[in-house]
Structures are given as structure tokens and as C-alpha cells.
Amino acid sequence: MDFSLEYTKEQEEFAKEVRIWIQENVPPGMVNLRDPVKKTYEQWQLRRELGRRLGKEGWLFAGLPRQYGGGELDADHRFVISQEFEKAEIGYPPFYDSARLAVGPILTLGTEEQKNRFLPPILRGEVTTWQLFTEPEAGTDEANQQTDALRYEKDGEYFIVNGSKIFVGGLYSPPDQLLLLTRSDREAARHENLAMFLAPGILEGVSITPLPLFVSGTFSQVTGPTVDQAPAIKHQVIFDDAKIHEQYLIGGERDGWKVTTATLDVEHGGGQVGIPPENEVVKRFIEQCRQNPV
């Protein structure tokens, strides 16, 4: 039984194009992801540059509409891109995942102004996004948000945000923007009291600190973490009377749960299409099937 994946003729032609693009566009000095090296700030910058180059080509979010910066490619072409990047042991820059989570809700629930404003920088790889959902009392129960975003009495165009988010991802801070889930009404019914924002990463009243997790390595505010398990670095984000303008509100003031479910659908549904050819689990599974045919 042969489990190998073979391209169609059309896919192979596109694969040649992708291989040439990889040779010409991977930034010099960017290390192989599987090399046993530490993920330095310089490597992070190189991967951001790769993200921008992918975005310029329309391949960072290859399936999304061209009008916003995507490639509008079908599943076959997206599969080939994913496969070729894995074969080259490069992979897509991982820190665009949270930005990907913001795209679906903006497309489905955002205004036209928000789509035209927020989507192009995301799809072009120009911004990084942190997802701020988890709290000390709201992890698996996302509806139990305690971070408040209440209308400012003196200026109704602003929300005043107070609370704390934990286990927030991202190697280097601050991010360019925050996908922030909040409680907008303390008295409203559950699932009808939430609001979602795509807010700037730098706001007065917002502090970001690394969490002291059990990982090897150290953290420096200047150069960022230099750790063998760099993706394990997480942060706490504290809001102390931070002001967020209503232009950053995605959906209605009480539609945060709709936005959240749209976001989680994207997250749980996966990202790029393709099976990493060098994935050891997949390789072992295939070998087991070959040794034990039905």
C-alpha cells in the first residue's frame, strides 16, 4: 500500500514556480527551523521579512480575496505552497497565526471600512497580532470574561478597559495589534455581554510582562527571549484604564460571542493546507501501515 503524495501535472508546474520563489526570496542567513539553534531576535526579524515577501506575493494568506491582499488561490495551489515550504524545511512564519484568527471575524462581521483598513496590512504580512482571550478565570470557559470594556461616560466614542489577560503568545513585545475579548456589560446575560476589539498594540494604560514559566532560557526586554523552547514564552497583559476607540470594535457592542465563535472556528479548523512531509509522526504512521497491511 503506497501512502506517498503525488502532485498532478498542474500541481507540479506550480510547485516548480514555488521552489524558484523560495530560492530567490528566503532571506539570507535565515536558519533551518529544525537546526538545533536558539531562536534569536535576528532570526525573528528574518522570518518577519519572509512574511512580508509572502504577503507581497499574495501567498501568506493565499486563499483570501485579492482585493485585500490575498492570493485567492484554490485548495490545490495552497496545498502545493504548504508542501514545498515544508520540504524546504522553512515553514510559514508562525507568528502570523493570531493575525489569521482576526481575518475571519473581520470578513464576516466587520464593516467595509474595517475590512479595507485592517485586512490589507494583515494579509501583506506587515503586522503581528496577539490573541487576548485567556484570563485567570476564563480559559476553557471563554464566556466568563472579567476584563471590562465599558463606555466612557465623558466621551461615548471610547471604551475604558480594565483587567488582565494571561498566557498571551508572542516572542517579542509589543505586538502591532491586539485581538481582545472583553466584557462590555456586567449586568447582561451570558453570551450577550461581550465585545471584541482589534486594538493597537501600544496603548496608554497597557503593560506587558513575561510570565515566569518553566522553560529553559532567559528573557531580556531589549533583545527578547533567547531560549531553546522560545515558543513557550508567554506574557501577562494588564489593562489599567486603557482607552480604546469604538472604531476598533468588531461587530456590535454585545456581539463579542459571535466574533469569538467565528475566531475559534478558524483556529480549530486549521491553517495552511498540507501534511508536512518530514513530520515524524506521519512518517511512523505510514511505516506502521506498510508493515501491518489490512
Q: What is the pLDDT of residues 272-292, one digit of tens each?
A: 444 444 455 566 667 778 887
Give residue 233's pLDDT: 72
Residues 226 and 149 in one domain: yes
Residues 250 and 127 in one domain: yes
Residues 81 and 20 in one domain: yes
Strand partners, 148: 162, 183
Residues 152 and 224 in one domain: yes
Residues 259 and 277 in one domain: no
* Of 156, 147, 291, the residue nearest 205 (C-alpha): 147
3-state secondary structure of 44: helix
Question: How many separate domains does the chain show?
Answer: 2
Do 106 and 118 form a contact (C-beta atoms < 8 A)?
A: yes
**Cell 532570526 identifies what position?**
43
Cα separations (Å) of 58 from 66, 120, 239? 8, 10, 35
Give residue 251's pLDDT: 92
Residues 33 and 128 in one domain: no
Residues 210 and 278 in one domain: no
Q: How far apart are CA 161 and CA 147, in angstroms?
A: 7
Q: Within a domain: residue 159?
A: yes
Cα separations (Å) of 51 from 21, 23, 234? 13, 15, 22
Residues 262 and 127 in one domain: yes
- In this structure, what CATH number is given to the domain that contains residue 189? 2.40.110.10
* Of 5, 171, 13, 8, the residue nearest 86 (C-alpha): 5
Q: How far apart are CA 280 and CA 52, in angstroms?
A: 29
Residues 146 and 59 in one domain: no
Residues 168 and 134 in one domain: yes
Q: Within a domain: residue 105?
A: no
Q: Within a domain: residue 175?
A: yes
Give residue 284's pLDDT: 64
Q: Within a domain: residue 39?
A: yes
Peptide bond into 225 cis (omega under 30): no
Roughly what angle, to the nearest 10 degrees, separates helices 97-109 and 256-269? 130
Q: Within a domain: residue 132?
A: yes
Range of the domain at 52: 9-92+272-291
Amino acid at site 288: Q
Cα separations (Å) of 279 from 83, 91, 100, 275? 11, 12, 23, 8
Q: What pLDDT digit, counting tens, does each position of 22-64 carry?
A: 999 998 888 765 554 556 778 888 888 999 999 999 999 999 9
Q: Within a domain: residue 53?
A: yes
Residues 119 and 260 in one domain: yes
**How crowded is residue 270: how many other Cβ atoms within 10 Å of its Cβ?**
8
Residues 180 and 247 in one domain: yes
Q: Within a domain: residue 210?
A: yes
Give residue 276's pLDDT: 47
* Torsion angles phi and psi, residue 183, rounded to 5: -100, 120
Mean pLDDT by 10 residues, the chain (294 residues): 72 96 91 61 85 94 93 93 86 69 88 95 91 86 92 88 90 83 94 95 92 55 42 81 96 91 66 46 70 75
Q: Within a domain: residue 205?
A: yes
